[in-house]
Amino acid sequence: MLIITDSQRLPITCSDPISGNHNDAYQLVDTVDLMLKNITKSKIKTEGLFLNADSGFHTKEFRNSCFSNDIIDNIAFNKRNNDENESIFDELLYGQRFVIERTNAWLDAFKALLIRFETNKIHWKALHLLAFSVILLRRL
């Protein structure tokens, strides 16, 4: 499940769970496009959004999708991809990725999410949304 957070560690949107064992880039463009549509439904502008991501998201298709959606991507380079990349990578801003890692750690505090016992994907996503609500309430 992919999660997009703001700079204050608050989850903004999440993807639907995908069954099976897949790498990070599996159906990534379609998944992020759906997440961006959900954000725009909430009247949040995505133009100029700054996106930090680890090397698992370093694909040409995803970078092109970010460019077409006016998203500034700061994705670590995957050493396994032997492609020439013209993208700029900012190490200092990449260090701010701890924001999403902290959010993931907060989600691990919810025992129902730590190990996936829930087999229905609607219930699994609903549990995440409940956890997001609790995280938001803690921040207020």
* Per-residue pLDDT, 83: 63
Write down the pTM of the prediction.
0.75
Q: What is the pLDDT of residue 86?
A: 63
Which residue ranges of the chain lie beneath pLDDT 70?
Answer: 23-24, 81-87
Supply the pLDDT for residue 80. 72
Domain boundaries, the chain: 3-139
So what's the pLDDT on residue 117? 76
- DSSP-derived secondary structure for 91-131: HHHHGGGHHHHHHHHHHHTSHHHHTT---SHHHHHHHHHHH
pLDDT value, residue 82 = 63
